[in-house]
Structure 1
Amino acid sequence: MVRKRARRQGPIRASLWRFRRSPLRRTSDLVEAWLLLVAWAVGVLGGATAGALAAMVADQDFEEERSARRQVVAVLLENARDAVPGHADVSRSGAAVRWTTPDGRTRTGRTTVAAHTRAGTRVPVWTNARGDLVSQPPTESDALVRSSFVGVGAVMATGCGVWASARAVRALLDRRRMRQWALDWERVDMRRGGRTA
């Protein structure tokens, strides 16, 4: 029973060896242990925070985009099929439309409509505050999906940045340890009179 408990604690104790006092522990081992601990904390907590903040900002931007655009009714000025000569088999085409801006001015532009739509048909279009044609803003569900992707991207970017930084510092520590080992082997070799065997 005592043996089983020792086995269970073995991997935990083995992973914490850098934090224990030992004549074999080097300063670089302790630095590496703290580096890994900080990297995990920053990677997890910082990544989650960055992801949540990025998703909130993106969601707010999508909300502002939705509130800045309004749907108005425009009149189609030409048959949609005539707008794309030689392409009678297309399902949607860009055709000229006319609409009225919030300040009462009449504007014209091109928008995408179903290919079978005839001139004179009223079609919904989206405009910005100045009355210019714009694309349809994302729906609430689309905005949620997009902001989720932005949040996941921020989490991944933060995690990759922390991981790359930790790897770079560990590489520097490994280089320092290799130089120290080379010096130690030279000292041992000098004590033996320059003989390595």
Structure 2
Amino acid sequence: MLRFLSRELHSWRLMHASSNRLVRPTDRVETLVLLALWVSALAGLLVALTIGGNTYATHKAAVEVQGPRHSVSATVVTMPKPDDDSTIVAWRRPDGSRATAAVDTERHDRVGRVRIIWLDDEDKPADPPRTTTTDAVVEGIMAGLGVVMLTTLGWWGLVLLVRAAADRHRMRRWEAEWLEFDIDSHR
């Protein structure tokens, strides 16, 4: 890792921007491409911050808008059919009447299993309530970190690709120059 870092720091010498004739055009192009990659990495960081902030705002708005929900213990009555994803559950309402509804199947469902389901104000199955803003913060950070990771991996891969192409070109040029100076000393 240190070798890679030292090579990157070495490549940012200002010599590539000067009029020094010892600097090859390939080195100048490589510097420009790597500079463009640095700028794009900074833009990726801004995109990550924006996506993280938007995810946070969306989650926070969903927490504030959701209606009240309550949980009940429901018993699995029937298992889903092969072409269906819902399980039928039954529970008792506060007035003592029996209610049934189709809910998403869980992995451990079997007839007779008691599981917790969430109901809205109209006693219809609903998603579990979104909790406090802590979840919104965590989701925003995770979304931002995901974008940062993708940007970093893409940047690193492109830097390695540019460096490898430039190194390959330099090696071909150096080999050609050495062949020009080759003195036939084998006689």
Partners of 2:49 and 2:171 in 1: how far apart? Answer: 41
Q: Give the drift of 1:145.
A: 1.6
CA displacement, residues 113-132 of structure 1 (integer Å, 9 cap, x when unaligned): xxxxxxxxxx9935499933
Indicate conservation of the 8 Å contact 1:74/1:124, yes or no: yes
- What runs of 5+ residues in structure 1 fail to find an aligned partner? 1-10, 79-94, 101-105, 111-122
Match of 2:175 in 1: 182
**Structure 2 vs 1, CA of residues 172 and 75 (structure 1 numbering), >3 Å: closer, same or farther?**
closer
Q: TM-score with structure 1 length normalisation? A: 0.60
Normalization by structure 2: what TM-score?
Answer: 0.62
**How far has the Cα of 1:133 moved from its partner?**
3.1
Output aligned runs, 1:115-194, within 5 Å.
125-127=118-120, 131-189=124-182, 192=183, 194=184
Corresponding residue SS for 2:160: helix
Structure 2 letter corresponding to 1:97? W
Distance in 2 (CA, whole Å) between partners of 1:154 and 1:174 is: 30
**Deviates further, 146-155 or 167-176:** 146-155
Q: Is the 8 A contact 2:52 2:140 kept in 1?
A: yes
Q: 1:40 is matched with which residue: 34, 38, 41?
A: 38
Q: 1:99 to 1:157 in 2, by over 3 A?
A: farther
Paired with 1:154 and 1:42, the residues of 2 have a C-alpha distance of 13
Instruction: Check 1:107–1:64 CA distance in 2 against 1; reply closer, same or farther (3 A cut).
Output: farther
> How far apart are the structure 1 equivalents of 2:123 and 2:64?
14
Taking the aligned partners of 1:72 and 1:48, their CA distance within structure 2 comes to 38
- Bigger-Rg structure (1/2): 1
Contact 2:70 2:118 in 1 (8 A): yes
Structure 2 residue matching 1:24: 3-state secondary structure? coil
2:81: which partner in 1? none
Residue 24 of structure 1 and its aligned partner are, at CA, apart by: 0.9
CA deviations over 1:118-165 (Å, ceiling 9, x no partner): xxxxx9935499933322324212111221121122122112211211
- Over 3 Å counting, the alpha-carbon distance change for 1:127 and 1:60 in structure 2 is farther
Cα RMSD for the two superposed structures: 3.8
Query: 1:195: which partner in 2?
Result: 185
Give the equivalent residue in structure 2 for 1:16: 14
Shift of 1:47: 2.5
**Is the alpha carbon distance of 1:146 and 1:37 closer, same or farther for their aligned partners in structure 2, counting shifts above 3 Å?**
same
Counterpart-to-counterpart distance in 2, 1:39 and 1:17: 19
